[in-house]
Amino acid sequence: VAGLCPTTEANLGDGFFPAQDYLAQQGVFGIGSDSHISVSPVEELRWLEYGQRLLQRGRNILAGGPQRATGRTLYEQALRGGAQAMGRPCGQLTPGYCGDILVLDTTAPLLLERTGDEILNSWLFAGNQPLVKDVIVAGKWLIRDGNHAAEADIQAQFRAALKRLAR
């Protein structure tokens, strides 16, 4: 599994990952962030596709075929590769898998009137607005209506850590 961090590579000027050739050889990838240039999976996937567009001078390079949606293909490939890299049965709603679910806010202006693959395409390619409404990991709610259950405690701990570091 190739762990890709396209925003880091762009920030460092390291160039583009040869994704099209890699995938043609049955390569698998996951995405991440290793330098905190960005911690947005949406931005990482968008930059992965945009880098390929710049290299190939075309659109929808990583869609996987003329009738496929680029957003769905990128998202599914990242889920599969991420699950494989972690060695966890996750990334799909299947009996025996972890029960990890991400719910987008389809009432947000960027997603209004979108259906099916249009939702993933809009989420990945229409900017970086926070569109995640709920997050469930291993069947447990972590974020509900955009708020983490322990958000106040997390912020307090973060502030305390920053104060310690600033000394």
The amino acid at residue 103 is V
Q: Which residue has the tokens 């990952």?
A: 17
* Whole-structure pTM value: 0.87
| Alpha-helix runs per DSSP H in 109-150 | 117-125
Q: Which residue has the tokens 């599994």?
A: 1
Q: pLDDT (tens digit, 9 = 90+) per residue, 78-137?
A: 999 999 999 999 988 999 999 899 999 999 999 999 999 999 999 999 977 889 999 999
| Total domains in the fold of the chain | 1
70-86 and 117-125 helices cross at what angle (nearest 10)?
A: 80
Q: Residue 110 belongs to what domain range?
A: 2-166
Q: pLDDT (tens digit, 9 = 90+) per residue, 20-53?
A: 999 999 999 999 987 777 889 999 999 999 999 9
159, pLDDT greater than 80: yes
